[in-house]
Structure 1
């Protein structure tokens, strides 16, 4: 699916020109994110400070990031782009960029330099996975468990999720193939560096689903990141996957009897894309906000509210204490050495190429 020639005429260079020369900027924005603690960290760290500097601007949140690809495809088909800036995971950013649904950017032209004098491309480094995606944070999908429901020996391996004898009870897993398929193959004996080779075959897909079959009748499937912490808090599941920031909130802010299982946490990136085809006044406003929201200080400020590592190298030294709890945030980051002894790294391009096919197979398996 590709955009029309007219829409594709907007290039990275003309985007910068719009920001520099637009006489009028739109006075409202629709930002798309995931809700919950993460969206609130975005709101506190850079949206509200931006609005304070620009009282003429209003902004609203749409919590539809999980459906970003499908919804942007539909908006493009209808010729009606209602979103201005969209927070997506890296694999979705690859798909949106490949399909011409996300705008290509000249990062050094439209983003702020690092506080250490580095160019944006130097500061973000390898996290700039394509020409459309502006990363904000490094986060992980990992497991939390009820400390009072696991006996005297808490789980230490991700494969304990598949051990119903030692750890009886319900599990919570996200209702999608990503993460679940990799964990299943790893716990079925596949080496980490061979997971995607195996998953790229029909036999590998069947093998992963067969492993998931061993716990399927004990799984509560979730679609929103807030569900697992609530299920854990209510004692409805003994362990469950979700984003590490959600678990941090439940543990540190709500004092729930929950602990983290960092083994084979899945590192991922979250960041912004600009939908292709915005009118010039809306594009100018978005570029102005994007430059502010992704500078060194703003990304460091976000770590005051949630345990996600900032994507800029220049932001890392500025990460300090939680804004309200006063605790040191560094040990709660997925990138902390003590938490990162055995991590899973996504193959973004593989998922971009195979996501639609695996989604269909996974949903068919769920319905069986």
Structure 2
């Protein structure tokens, strides 16, 4: 009996060990994916022995819904935008994450006081603050560079193709700000039919000059290839192209729309315990600060801020390149996750109809 018990225990331990030796983390790829591999995946594997398999998607929220509803979940952890996390959680497609498992900040601040306001929800632990900005090639507009979101829509003064993400979110907000709406009034305006009409009318003024993008790696490539003169983009992607690769690209934070992004665990994740361990590790003070060495996204913990220093080149101060730098927030708009959790489907249906029209 004793031998049987020992054997059973050993087999159980082996089975768990095998199941937890590998987890699959889905994210957005490119420079952002590299920042996560360096700051989270590699040190997690070094610490635990658990291999992290990286999988890329244009938007990881989409396969989560499909996999959970099909009962065939292969993702353990996914990186998603805040509004998508709220919506997926409301739909019962994500595991809930007990905030008590999150460690205190490196300075001893309790976790829930250390994370930025609202950064931890029932199903999400935020890792970064990122923003949708616009950028241009300085060699194209050397004499009269654009400085405001209104300039992005001004094809007469600044001729050339424009890159825009293929979707409603951020485009509607930026269109209204370009049309003179103050950032603090944008969502009140979008709650009305007239406001939505106004946003689409503004987008209509450049529609024929737009090249649509879907993956975060595309905008810097569109600029590099000369396919567009300006493009909206995730700020970290342009930073990587400009500072990391020496491209002549300039980021304009005027009219930026910034938001949270972080980790969720799909309902029925095959390696739940290891997935939770990964989320806890990745969202510690030091790891969030480490990611900021690789890409210019602001860490979601306050205690990470003082640890953010130089880019991997050893000379570029990361602080001024963050969406949350004081100077960059002057004409910025925080994305309203409640608005998009409620209106995403409806407004994207209208967007797609407008695009096809």
Give the TM-score, by structure 2 length. 0.92
Q: 2:9 aligns to what?
A: none
Q: Which runs of 5+ in 2 are unaligned?
A: 1-14
Confirm or deny: 8 A CA contact 1:32 1:65 kept in the other structure.
no
Number of aligned positions between the proteins: 342
Matching of residue 47 in structure 1 with residue 36 in structure 2: no
Q: 1:283 aligns to what?
A: 272
Inter-partner Cα distance in structure 1 for 2:341 and 2:77 = 20
Closer, same or farther in 2 for the Cα pair 1:65/1:124, shift >3 Å?
farther
Inter-partner Cα distance in structure 1 for 2:205 and 2:177 = 14
Inter-partner Cα distance in structure 1 for 2:354 and 2:213 = 16
Matching of residue 231 in structure 1 with residue 222 in structure 2: yes
- 2:115 partner SS: helix
Confirm or deny: 8 A CA contact 1:144 1:241 kept in the other structure.
yes
Confirm or deny: 8 A CA contact 1:127 1:311 kept in the other structure.
no
Matching of residue 178 in structure 1 with residue 172 in structure 2: no
Q: 2:329 aligns to what?
A: 340
Matching of residue 295 in structure 1 with residue 284 in structure 2: yes
Matching of residue 84 in structure 1 with residue 63 in structure 2: no
- 2:117 partner SS: helix
Confirm or deny: 8 A CA contact 1:95 1:352 kept in the other structure.
yes
Inter-partner Cα distance in structure 2 for 1:362 and 1:201 = 16
- 2:96 partner SS: coil
Name which of 135, 143, 148 aligns with 2:134: 143
- 2:80 partner SS: strand
Inter-partner Cα distance in structure 1 for 2:194 and 2:319 = 41
Inter-partner Cα distance in structure 2 for 1:111 and 1:300 = 16
Confirm or deny: 8 A CA contact 1:65 1:88 kept in the other structure.
no
Closer, same or farther in 2 for the Cα pair 1:67/1:272, shift >3 Å?
closer
Q: Offset of 1:188 from its aligned partner?
A: 2.2
Name which of 304, 315, 321 aligns with 2:310: 321
Give deviations 1:220-279, integer Å, cap 9, x for gaps. 000011111111112221111101111111111111111111101111111001112235
Confirm or deny: 8 A CA contact 2:68 2:266 kept in the other structure.
no
Q: 2:12 aligns to what?
A: none
Name which of 254, 260, 271 aligns with 1:269: 260
Inter-partner Cα distance in structure 2 for 1:234 and 1:265 = 24
Q: Offset of 1:146 from its aligned partner?
A: 1.0
Name which of 167, 186, 211 aligns with 1:220: 211
Confirm or deny: 8 A CA contact 2:184 2:333 kept in the other structure.
no
Inter-partner Cα distance in structure 1 for 2:116 and 2:29 = 28
- 2:127 partner SS: strand
Name which of 349, 354, 357 aligns with 1:365: 354
Name which of 62, 66, 90 aligns with 2:55: 62
Give deviations 1:42-78, integer Å, cap 9, x for gaps. 00011001112233x222112126141x322222221
Confirm or deny: 8 A CA contact 2:257 2:335 kept in the other structure.
yes
Which piece of structure 1 moves more, 193-202 or 133-142?
A: 193-202
Name which of 177, 202, 210 aligns with 1:211: 202
Q: Offset of 1:332 from its aligned partner?
A: 1.3
Q: 2:24 aligns to what?
A: 30
Q: Offset of 1:181 from its aligned partner?
A: 0.5
Confirm or deny: 8 A CA contact 2:58 2:214 kept in the other structure.
no
Q: 1:12 aligns to what?
A: none
Inter-partner Cα distance in structure 2 for 1:213 and 1:293 = 42
Name which of 97, 111, 120 aligns with 2:111: 120
- 2:294 partner SS: coil
Inter-partner Cα distance in structure 2 for 1:253 and 1:208 = 35
- 1:66 partner SS: coil
Name which of 90, 97, 105 aligns with 1:98: 90
Matching of residue 187 in structure 1 with residue 178 in structure 2: yes
Inter-partner Cα distance in structure 1 for 2:292 and 2:209 = 35
Q: 2:11 aligns to what?
A: none
